[in-house]
Amino acid sequence: MEYPFEKIEKKWQNIWAEKKIFDAEDFSEKPKYYVLSMFPYPSGALHMGHVSNYSIADAISRYKMMQGFNVMQPMGYDSFGLPAENYAIEHNSHPRITTDENINIMRNQFDSIGFGLDWEREVSTCHSDYYRWGQWLFKKMYEKGLVYKKTSFVNWCESCQTVLANEQVEDGKCWRCETVVRQKELEQWFFKITEYAEELLDFSKVIEWPERVKTMQTNWIGKSFGTEMWFKLEDSDDIIKVFTTRPDTIFGCTFMAVPPEHPLMMKWLEKADSEIKKFCDKVMNEDKITRTAEETTKEGMFTGRYALNPVNGEKVQIWVTNYVLMDYGTGAVMAVPAHDQRDFEFAKKYDIPIKIVIQNPEKSLVLKEMTKAYIEPGILVNSAQFDGMESVASQKAITDWMVQQKTGKHTITYRLRDWGISRQRYWGTPIPIVYCEKCGTVLVPDEDLPVKLPEDVQLGKTTQNPLLSVPEWINTTCPQCGGTARRETDTMDTFVDSSWYFARYADAKNDKIPFDKEKADFWLPVDQYIGGIEHAVMHLMYARFFHKFMRDIGLVSSDEPFARLLTQGMVTKDGAKMSKSKGNTVDPQYIIDRYGADTVRVFMLFASPPDKDSEWSDEGVKGSFRFLNRVWRLFEENLELIKENSAAKEREEAQSIFAEIKELRFSTHFTIKKVLNDIEDRMQFNTAIAAIMEHLNNIYSITETDKLNDTEKAVFAEACTVIPRLLYFFAPHISEELWKLMEREELVHEAGIPEFNKEFLKKDEVTYVVQIMGKVRGKMEVPINTSQEEIKKLALEIENVKKYMEGKEIKKIIVVPKKLVSIVAK
């Protein structure tokens, strides 16, 4: 017989909803705890990744509820974006309709799994009551000087007349029409995230973030100390600035590499010969993906021009290449082939001179014998007055000297670039800007917000931005002079919408401001944030940037949005990520219908630690179902005994208890300790569930319950009653039902976290493992308070140990308390 999960789950979901136990209370007396999982994109159906993510969040949330916290676990939808636009075109519908439909489906699915969500705070980024505040924040940022416009290159399909996202470029071609993608220069809006680079490097204000995420963000920001050097041109007064982290190699600079996009290059191109023009054209039209692909060979052409090395006046060839990028550093590289591998390969290919300026102190370098660049530190040679200096020490000396000579300066460079937020698409937050013929670029005034996305657009008729097809929306009046003006038709990157939603949950219905400061300060920072590792850098850094910006304009007081971060792994099947194209998806709804929500949750949490990928297994789900059935049967078969004895106190001395029952009592208290420790300190739910399974096995090992005396019955009952309270975090429905069967009045979380008694965890004896030269040769049980000397003696008396020690001399005996004895012998 299967336990009646269907009836139980519906019943408790209704009770929870009626009692509003998941409604978080602003300014409550109880300490707050804010649990947030990254909100989903409303694709129309939950996938296993969602179930895994939200099962983790719900386990933490219910644990905190049981501890007496005022828990907030909100939910919303990241509902703008390209996929919705494409989906609507495919289904000849409108993204507004399909998105809202999808949201309704997903909301029902969340409820059918019984997640403890506070629906009063639901947000959807595509609704104007949400995105108007995104526009408001854009304006604030603009007013603060953190928004600007500049040209940058985008992937452009000539035939579709549209900008393509990187993911829409396949093998350098448009995914729809297979036209070769070109690079086109467009005016775009940028957020000055680089202003916050230094603060974003500082993680001292977060409580617990995975090291790997901090490292990835730190590397992404890429702070480097170096030298900026100014190269004069041979035949003009123009100067080329280069940035280098290796000023010690400057005397070995034999050429300079610039990208076609470099301003000087653009200038020269007018007069350049056709070969160079052709080359530049080719490089610039390579889409970013091809240009950054590993197979792409480093290519270049000599421009015929020279710069002068600022330290010795030597002529340096200027090459235009495909491997230097305009947007990092100064957009030009001083090339030192002898001491940089990429420069070395390039110089060899094009027969450019190579000059050794750092000698290997171990083995002198000989130019003709070099097969690769020497990049390690060494001793300077061919470097004028710096000859003989150690290369690392010379970096400061050379730069100091260049500062004196006014040919360079110390500088700090970040790899991080400003955030381009313009998207030439329909389904996104409109940028609240109008262009007036007289006044120029004008912000839309607060009272005119939101700038609503027009609903009546032509989707799919043309491939270009559908907003261009709505003249009545584009054409407007200038809020300053009342003259004719045009609206900005770019919309914002959806990462903007997801960069502040966590704060909106604190006050989701506010229609006067983005959110009330007091409420935001009450709830923020998010105590526990949970989401995929794929967001380690971009989303998580954009959100930190926004939070710091919001702090700086007085909207919030905290420094970081997310105090603790848990990055969960993917759900795989047959070793690969579940995806429709691979055909290896599993529909959670089917599994819920067949085995119940509790089973699915237990399986997802039991399959692997939350931060690791987990492999889906149909058989494994059955195992979780079997476990819950075993729990159910235990209560069914022993209900009277449990009910009658669960409130009973210990009636006799512990010593008088039958040994097996004493072990059961140990198991009860050990399990409590283990489960709480796994959740609180380790966030490892798989071992917590395993511990409950083990405890259940221990209970089942007591077979003749009718022969127990009163004390023993109390111990047995206690062993059972602990289960619903520990299982509640993972399988809340069945736990509530069992609790109710025991005629408890309160809900499980109101009963509080079970406590363990240290007294019952004490053991009289411990097992020592005896090793000789690292190999296990025996085991022994000794009373817990045996002295070290005694333990050594006992270890040497073990038969097997004696055998191995024959003819050997004891050099040392190491005793690890309560664990092992290691004998070092010769």
Measured from the CB atom, the residue of 260 and 450 that comes closer to RNA is: 260
Exactly one of 10, 30, 438, 682 binds RNA (CB under 7 A); that residue is: 682
Measured from the CB atom, the residue of 27 and 700 that comes closer to RNA is: 700
- Residue 810 in tokens: 């004891």
How far is Cα 308 from Cα 770, in angstroms, rounded to an integer? Answer: 74
Measured from the CB atom, the residue of 105 and 815 that comes closer to RNA is: 815
| Contact assessment for residue 525 and residue 558, using Cβ atoms and an 8 Å cutoff | yes
Exactly one of 98, 188, 624, 711 binds RNA (CB under 7 A); that residue is: 624
- Residue 409 in tokens: 């300066």
Measured from the CB atom, the residue of 57 and 702 that comes closer to RNA is: 702
Q: Shortest distance, CB of residue 264 to RNA, whole angstroms?
A: 14
- Residue 498 in tokens: 């997801």
Q: Give me the 537-566 binding string for RNA, x by CB under 7 A, dash otherwise.
A: xx----------------------------
How far is Cα 95 from Cα 125, in angstroms, rounded to an integer? Answer: 13
Exactly one of 222, 353, 377, 454 binds RNA (CB under 7 A); that residue is: 222
The pairing of beta strand 239-244 with beta strand 169-170: unpaired
Residue 622 in contact with RNA, rule: CB under 7 A: yes
How far is Cα 656 from Cα 708, in angstroms, rounded to an integer? Answer: 12
How far is Cα 451 from Cα 805, in angstroms, rounded to an integer? Answer: 86
Q: Shortest distance, CB of residue 380 to RNA, whole angstroms?
A: 17
Residues 43-82 that bind RNA (CB under 7 A): none
Exactly one of 362, 369, 640, 681 binds RNA (CB under 7 A); that residue is: 681
The DSSP bridge partners found for residue 321 are: 300
Residue 327 in contact with RNA, rule: CB under 7 A: yes
How far is Cα 677 from Cα 684, in angstroms, rounded to an integer? Answer: 9
Exactly one of 109, 687, 705, 786 binds RNA (CB under 7 A); that residue is: 687
Q: Shortest distance, CB of residue 792 to RNA, whole angstroms?
A: 13
Exactly one of 233, 239, 284, 325 binds RNA (CB under 7 A); that residue is: 325
Residues 285-314 that bind RNA (CB under 7 A): 288, 291-292, 294, 296, 298
652 φψ region: left (φ > 0), alpha (ψ -120 to 50), beta (else) = beta
How far is Cα 297 from Cα 291, in angstroms, rounded to an integer? Answer: 9
Exactly one of 70, 73, 98, 244 binds RNA (CB under 7 A); that residue is: 244
Q: Which residue type is seen at 493?
A: D
How far is Cα 200 from Cα 262, in angstroms, rounded to an integer? Answer: 29
Grouping H, G, I as helix, E, B as strand and the rest as coil, residue 33 is: strand
Query: Which of 467, 444, 432, 544 shows the shortest CA–CA distance to 498?
Result: 544
Region near RNA per CB under 7 A, out of 4-12, 237-245, 443-451, 715-723: 237-245
Residues 765-824 that bind RNA (CB under 7 A): 767, 769, 771, 773-777, 779, 800, 812, 814, 816, 819-820, 822, 824
Measured from the CB atom, the residue of 331 and 754 that comes closer to RNA is: 331
Residue 322 in contact with RNA, rule: CB under 7 A: yes
- Residue 232 in tokens: 């004069």
Measured from the CB atom, the residue of 1 and 659 that comes closer to RNA is: 1
Q: Shortest distance, CB of residue 649 to RNA, whole angstroms?
A: 29
Residue 215 in contact with RNA, rule: CB under 7 A: yes
- Angle between the 5-19 and 597-607 helix axes, to the nearest 10 degrees? 90
- Residue 762 in tokens: 């004490």
Measured from the CB atom, the residue of 617 and 656 that comes closer to RNA is: 617
Q: Shortest distance, CB of residue 446 to RNA, whole angstroms?
A: 31
Region near RNA per CB under 7 A, out of 66-74, 153-161, 438-446, 676-684: 676-684
Residue 577 in contact with RNA, rule: CB under 7 A: yes
Q: Give me the 269-288 binding string for RNA, x by CB under 7 A, dash otherwise.
A: -------------------x
Region near RNA per CB under 7 A, out of 156-164, 351-359, 390-398, 626-634: 626-634
Measured from the CB atom, the residue of 47 and 749 that comes closer to RNA is: 47
How many chain residues interact with RNA (CB under 7 A)?
Answer: 93
Residue 690 in contact with RNA, rule: CB under 7 A: yes
Strand boundaries in 539-598, DSSP class E: 562-568, 571-573, 576-577
Which alpha helices (H) appear in 426-533, and where do they start and end? 471-474, 494-497, 501-504, 517-523
The DSSP bridge partners found for residue 390 are: 379
Exactly one of 233, 694, 751, 805 binds RNA (CB under 7 A); that residue is: 694
What sign has the CA pseudo-torsion 505, 509, 510, 516?
A: negative
| Contact assessment for residue 3 and residue 727, using Cβ atoms and an 8 Å cutoff | no
Exactly one of 196, 243, 501, 728 binds RNA (CB under 7 A); that residue is: 243
Query: Which of 678, 654, 651, 656 shows the shortest CA–CA distance to 666?
Result: 654
Measured from the CB atom, the residue of 461 and 818 that comes closer to RNA is: 818
Which alpha helices (H) appear in 372-525, and where do they start and end? 391-405, 471-474, 494-497, 501-504, 517-523
Residue 220 in contact with RNA, rule: CB under 7 A: yes
Measured from the CB atom, the residue of 398 and 449 that comes closer to RNA is: 398
The DSSP bridge partners found for residue 397 are: none
How far is Cα 826 from Cα 808, in angstroms, rounded to an integer? Answer: 5
What would you report as the CA-atom Rg of the chain, rounded to the nearest whole angstrom? 34
Measured from the CB atom, the residue of 105 and 794 that comes closer to RNA is: 794
Residues 362-421 that bind RNA (CB under 7 A): 415-417
| Contact assessment for residue 323 and residue 257, using Cβ atoms and an 8 Å cutoff | yes
Residues 6-45 that bind RNA (CB under 7 A): none
Residue 697 in contact with RNA, rule: CB under 7 A: yes
Q: Shortest distance, CB of residue 560 to RNA, whole angstroms?
A: 19
Measured from the CB atom, the residue of 70 and 822 that comes closer to RNA is: 822
Phi and psi of 113, rounded to 5°?
-95, -10
Measured from the CB atom, the residue of 495 and 505 that comes closer to RNA is: 495
Exactly one of 310, 331, 430, 450 binds RNA (CB under 7 A); that residue is: 331
Region near RNA per CB under 7 A, out of 45-53, 87-95, 207-215, 520-528: 207-215
- Residue 548 in tokens: 């710091």
Exactly one of 211, 270, 369, 640 binds RNA (CB under 7 A); that residue is: 211
Residue 629 in contact with RNA, rule: CB under 7 A: yes
User: How distant, in Å, are the alpha carbons of 642, 716, 721, 738 from that of 639?
Assistant: 5, 12, 10, 9
Q: Shortest distance, CB of residue 752 to RNA, whole angstroms?
A: 23
Measured from the CB atom, the residue of 28 and 701 that comes closer to RNA is: 701
Exactly one of 36, 467, 536, 702 binds RNA (CB under 7 A); that residue is: 536
Q: Shortest distance, CB of residue 146 to RNA, whole angstroms?
A: 16
358 φψ region: left (φ > 0), alpha (ψ -120 to 50), beta (else) = beta
Residues 579-618 that bind RNA (CB under 7 A): 606-609, 612-615, 617
How far is Cα 541 from Cα 556, in angstroms, rounded to an integer? Answer: 17
N-terminal to C-terminal alpha carbon distance within the chain: 63
Helix, strand, coil shares of the chain, percent, nearest 5, are 45, 20, 35
Residue 704 in contact with RNA, rule: CB under 7 A: no
Residue 693 in contact with RNA, rule: CB under 7 A: yes
Q: Shortest distance, CB of residue 470 to RNA, whole angstroms?
A: 30
| Contact assessment for residue 407 and residue 310, using Cβ atoms and an 8 Å cutoff | yes
